[in-house]
Structure 1
Amino acid sequence: MSDITLKPAPAPRGRLANLAPLEPGRLLWFGLAAVMIFLVVYPLWQIVSVSLHDSDGNFTFENYAKAFGRARYIQSFTNSLWLGVCACVLSLCFAVPISWGLARTDMPGKRFVWLGVIGAYVMPPFMGAIGWILLAGPNAGWLNRIFRSLSGMDVALFDIYTFSGLVFVVALYSFPLVFVFVNAALELVSSEMEDAGAILGASIWHVARRITIPIVLPTIIGAGIIVFLEAVSLFGAPALLGTPARISVVTTTLFEFFSNPVRVEVAAAYSMPLLLITVILFLLQYWVIRRRGYVTQTGKGGERRMMKLGPWRWAVFAYGFGVIFLAVILPLIIIVQAALSKAWGQGFSFDNLTLNNFRYILFEHSTAGQTVINSAMFSFWTATLAVTLTLLIAYIVNRKLVPFSSVLGFLAVTPFVIPGIVLAIGFYAAYAPPPLALYGTGLIMVLSFTTRFMPVAYINAASGMRSLHPEMEEAVRILGGSRMTAIRRVIAPLLKRSLAGAWLIVFIGATRELSTAIFLYVGATRTMSIMIYDLSEEGRFEHLSALGLVLVVATMAFVAIGFRVVGRDFMLKRS
């Protein structure tokens, strides 16, 4: 028998040689890179480009002159910065004691307070603002009416239509962001250092002030920066509370630029300093958070014991209960009363009780039904697209399939530093004009929402990918399966709990998103949050309370599903 010699196939030449390196992982990278350019890079580039060109396409700085040429516009910018600082400080005052009480002490009622923080977390800030309008409006607010009836004085004790009222409401619904970070950091601190302070004769309060809180101070500072960024980018609460008091901020001024005629060039120029400040503060926050590593230098195996506060534990609980009462219980009581009333100002009585507000909103209003459907559909596709996209990105980044794969991860978290209102301006500038002309379509709503909440989904997906060893998908490859098969049949099932949690968080966020949607919607694409804002402008508090209550109840239902499927910490965990 003659020997058979197998010769290697000749190497491809010409164009075939260029196509050879394009294996599936590289093709997937190019595809995802194109998607990220569409969702992140191009809208940001358009903000810069549009701000430097007039309507005819000529290079100019005139847009900046118009944006900052009036004292009122500069005052709006100053108001936003001051709002961010004040809301940050007040949020820290709310969140840090509660975090310390839950994580480090024997405070009673921990589950109640924890559920209350969840309630404040899922309560849309604009709904909280509406609740406090009904409570502390200077003329008809229930707190002022009770004060007048008890004191006989014809004055308003509270006025929510003030700068301090705006700060109060923004802080009430921003403090859970601080709680997420600070509570997680406090749970990692060993009790050994606190025990050392106690042995040296320090009181519990001295230990907390001089040992525990300084240990997590970098985390507190980083969380405060996040609250600042959140406060300056809010639209709903400043529009509802600030506009009647003639207190303008950056977001409400940008909304003016989008009134007829739309001045997108001036809006882009006006948003640039906000974007720059946001990027700088995010980099500062990242640097500060990274320095928190020293808190665990006591070694592994440190035990965490609850401090015994004695009678003071009830004072700590009372403080936590007070914050939850102001943020969740009191506003919800008045919203429920308004939703079930023929006229909310007539108070609690059987004669004033009705379900007609719900019937009108859900079945009789000409556009309310479509609005609910829009919110559900936009949120569903946003969550699905965001989770799918970020799972693929996290896979490529974690497995380092191609050079520069980390660029995709960077782009996936970039929207975190972009205020929603600035992102909306970018999408309008990029995709409202021809040839795509997406303005007024459901697609631009879904794409902008996906970009807005992509960092949340990516953080969950990346955290899950780090917990999986590559040998699992390598077994699929050995058996002839592709990488996509490994993702679909191995990785996704193993990460289903983490991905389900990310999907629910994105879905909940999209249902209540207002800052981005308010710039991109038309009548046919209006969402529940926009309709609530429109109803508040019309003064129809009974109807908007009914619709808002539907939104809150639906959100809490999804939170309950998350607790059941993913676990009780799926909304307040930090990766």
Structure 2
Amino acid sequence: MTSFQSTSVEWSGETPVPQKLSWFQRLQPSSLLWLFLAAILVVLVVAPMSMLLVTSFTDGATGGWTLGNYVEAYGHERHVTALTNTLKMGAAVVVLKLLFGVPLAWACTRTDMPGKNFVRYGVFGAFILPPYLGAVGWILLAGPNTGWINRAWYALSQSSEPLVNVFSFWGLVLVTSIGGFFLVFVFVSTAFEMISSEMEDAANMLGAGPVKTAMKVTFPLVLPAIIGSAMISFLGAIALYGVPALISIPARYPVVVIQLAEFFSFPLRVEVAAAYSIPLLLITMSLLGLQRLVLNRKGYTSISGKGGERRLVKLGKWRWAMFGYCFVVVALAVLMPLIVLLMAAFSKNWTSFSFDGLTLSNFYYVLFQHSSSQKALITSVSVGAVAATAAILLALCIGYIVQRKLLPFSSALAFIAVSPFVIPGIVLAIGFYAAYAFPPLALYGTYTILVLAFVTRFLPIAFTTSAAGIRAIHPEMEDAVRILGGGRLEAVRSVVAPLLKRTLAGGWLLIFVPAAQELSTAIFLVGPTTRVVSVVLLDLSEEGQLETLAALGTLLLLIIVAVVAVGFRYLGRDFMLRRQ
């Protein structure tokens, strides 16, 4: 009888009316697991952000409340200049990423441009290539004195001025943009592929050419995807650490992330760093609100409710011109920096490359002689794999709670799960430092804090992937397990997880690739024994060991490519672009 109490009904001669479940009835022992998982989510997301805010108002000496941290953070002109410089750089990066990503997405999905597979693989290469390795490649190419492009320019023109200088504002913008336009391509490509050709045909019948049709009909329909990708591009640009660390310091163009790193140098000023990072959170919240305001004022639904025919736009004589533009973007983002990195990795001296100077000594040094490289490789791959696995498992359970409404506050859990999406990685790292670096936990410099921070950082990817998959599974299949005596957890293990294994595997890869390369979150959390490859590469660049850096970066890329190749074989080449 007790097993039927939660679903008992009152009979009055009419249709049975289910009784409303009380809090006591909801909180049965079987629900404790879901509450525990919800608590983990709060610990990962809410606690660090709350501690960040509290720390920003805390006096480091007395422990009392103060506004002095904000005065110190923004009472100096160079600190304010770093913030304004960051906003300018972020805006310029957004424009350039859209110029790179949107035309390539349109060309690959809506036109008859040749070489589409080449472009797609090239764009995917931009996702695999870490931004800081791309920055090193461009330093080798466009350094004002020893960059290969400028050395060729000096030899040909006899000029004393460099042709290009990566250590400048536009150098910073270019390198930041080419390292992150992959997401713009993915979001906008998905939107383009969902548009029927009927409205474009109507515009063509009224006399509009391909370009006018694209500008007046096609692109306005994908405006939500463009705005969303622009917001992500801005957030990624202002929070990126590796590229500014390599370029903005020599360029003498201070930005927020470099100033935050100074607060973490001796003497340590965590409270000031917390206060200095709060405006970044306010900026991201404002952008999110602006996005919703813009999109809510207009509708962006195509007339054909269900998938109509999608015909390719005939570019005619512009086919190869479009491919030429795409090739230039891929060359800037992947081919050029990757080629010079490989040349440096196999050279005794990168400034004077020759076939006689080819060597494997850089790889031998990295693998067997350098004190940090071998362990850093193992740490990066292990932490990335563990974080991806933990994020997917947690997201699967949280997504199940949300979709099946197992807890009264399930909608709040969904909001918490996706909220790290708008938290810059470097701000998240400061929050984790403030929350968990000190006793009684004292997790600073441990593998635990790295894994927890990475799980939180990439939880939105895992949650959106898992939740979309669970929505596609009818609850009746889980009910069959429960009728046979299994619980909810057994239903997840035996029904939900097996049906979603391909989706979850794709989500795992989407997390593993950036987690194995992560620098912005790791830079403030690693310790002497937990250094990851990204941090070691940064140290090598400061020491001027660019050949060793290139060899270590190449090894990391080979590992990531091998893992992704397995994903291609199991999931298909388009697993990154699948729509849930």
Q: Which category describes the TM-score, using the shorter chain as reference length?
A: over 0.9
Runs of 4+ in 1 over 4 A off after TM superposition: 6-11, 17-21, 286-293
CA distance in structure 2 between the aligned counterparts of 1:553 and 1:8, rounded to whole angstroms: 55
> 2:113 maps to which residue?
107
- 1:66-122 alpha-carbon deviations (Å, 9 max, x no partner): 000000000000011001100000111111111111111100000000111100112
> 1:170 maps to which residue?
176
CA distance in structure 1 between the aligned counterparts of 2:333 and 2:194, rounded to whole angstroms: 27
- 1:358-416 alpha-carbon deviations (Å, 9 max, x no partner): 11101111221111111122112101110110000000100111211112111111111
Q: Root-mean-square deviation (CA), in Å?
A: 2.0
Give the TM-score taking structure 1 as reference length: 0.95
| CA shift for structure 1 position 289 | 5.8
Letter in 1 for 2:473: L
> 1:14 maps to which residue?
none
> 2:261 maps to which residue?
255
Letter in 2 for 1:507: F
CA distance in structure 2 between the aligned counterparts of 1:151 and 1:515, rounded to whole angstroms: 40
Secondary structure of the residue aligned to 1:311 is: helix
Out of 201, 204, 211, the position equivalent to 2:217 is 211
Letter in 1 for 2:48: P
- 1:247-305 alpha-carbon deviations (Å, 9 max, x no partner): 11111110000001110000000000011111221233355567786332233242110
Secondary structure of the residue aligned to 1:294 is: coil
CA distance in structure 2 between the aligned counterparts of 1:292 and 1:187, rounded to whole angstroms: 21
> 2:41 maps to which residue?
36
Q: 1:202 to 1:425 in 2, by over 3 A?
A: same
Q: 1:299 to 1:389 in 2, by over 3 A?
A: closer
> 2:406 maps to which residue?
401
CA distance in structure 2 between the aligned counterparts of 1:203 and 1:143, rounded to whole angstroms: 40
Q: 1:301 to 1:542 in 2, by over 3 A?
A: closer
> 2:388 maps to which residue?
383
Out of 514, 520, 526, the position equivalent to 1:509 is 514
8 Å contact from structure 2 (residues 426, 521) kept in 1? yes
CA distance in structure 2 between the aligned counterparts of 1:9 and 1:400, rounded to whole angstroms: 19
8 Å contact from structure 1 (residues 222, 286) kept in 2? no
| CA shift for structure 1 position 555 | 1.7
> 1:429 maps to which residue?
434
Q: 1:289 to 1:504 in 2, by over 3 A?
A: farther
| CA shift for structure 1 position 218 | 2.7
CA distance in structure 2 between the aligned counterparts of 1:218 and 1:21, rounded to whole angstroms: 39
| CA shift for structure 1 position 25 | 5.0
> 2:330 maps to which residue?
324
Residue 523 (1) aligns with residue 534 (2):
no
8 Å contact from structure 2 (residues 377, 556) kept in 1? no
> 1:154 maps to which residue?
160
8 Å contact from structure 1 (residues 412, 454) kept in 2? yes
Secondary structure of the residue aligned to 1:202 is: coil
Q: 1:287 to 1:471 in 2, by over 3 A?
A: farther
CA distance in structure 2 between the aligned counterparts of 1:156 and 1:25, rounded to whole angstroms: 69
Residue 23 (1) aligns with residue 23 (2):
no
> 1:139 maps to which residue?
145
Q: 1:233 to 1:25 in 2, by over 3 A?
A: farther
8 Å contact from structure 1 (residues 188, 296) kept in 2? no
| CA shift for structure 1 position 353 | 0.5
Q: 1:428 to 1:382 in 2, by over 3 A?
A: same
Out of 483, 486, 493, the position equivalent to 1:481 is 486
Map residues 119-130 of structure 1 onto 2, 5 A cutoff.
119-130=125-136
CA distance in structure 2 between the aligned counterparts of 1:142 and 1:520, rounded to whole angstroms: 36
CA distance in structure 1 between the aligned counterparts of 2:194 and 2:395, rounded to whole angstroms: 28
8 Å contact from structure 1 (residues 180, 573) kept in 2? no
CA distance in structure 1 between the aligned counterparts of 2:579 and 2:92, rounded to whole angstroms: 25
Letter in 2 for 1:523: P
> 1:48 maps to which residue?
53
Residue 280 (1) aligns with residue 286 (2):
yes
Letter in 1 for 2:219: I
| CA shift for structure 1 position 149 | 1.3
8 Å contact from structure 1 (residues 25, 402) kept in 2? no
Q: Bigger CA drift: 510-519 or 168-177? A: 168-177
Residue 194 (1) aligns with residue 189 (2):
no
> 2:12 maps to which residue?
none
8 Å contact from structure 2 (residues 38, 398) kept in 1? no
- 1:11-62 alpha-carbon deviations (Å, 9 max, x no partner): 9xxxxx9976433552123102211121111110111101001112111000
CA distance in structure 2 between the aligned counterparts of 1:67 and 1:21, rounded to whole angstroms: 47
CA distance in structure 2 between the aligned counterparts of 1:491 and 1:214, rounded to whole angstroms: 38
CA distance in structure 1 between the aligned counterparts of 2:152 and 2:295, rounded to whole angstroms: 46
Letter in 1 for 2:311: R
Letter in 1 for 2:54: S
> 1:3 maps to which residue?
none
CA distance in structure 2 between the aligned counterparts of 1:542 and 1:151, rounded to whole angstroms: 28
8 Å contact from structure 2 (residues 372, 536) kept in 1? no
CA distance in structure 2 between the aligned counterparts of 1:545 and 1:197, rounded to whole angstroms: 51
CA distance in structure 2 between the aligned counterparts of 1:120 and 1:46, rounded to whole angstroms: 35
> 1:338 maps to which residue?
344
8 Å contact from structure 1 (residues 135, 142) kept in 2? yes
CA distance in structure 1 between the aligned counterparts of 2:477 and 2:340, rounded to whole angstroms: 54
CA distance in structure 1 between the aligned counterparts of 2:2 and 2:248, rounded to whole angstroms: 79
| CA shift for structure 1 position 448 | 0.5
Secondary structure of the residue aligned to 1:284 is: helix
Map residues 342-353 of structure 1 onto 2, 5 A cutoff.
342-347=348-353, 349-353=354-358
Which ranges of structure 1 fall in alignment gaps of 5 or more residues?
1-5, 12-16
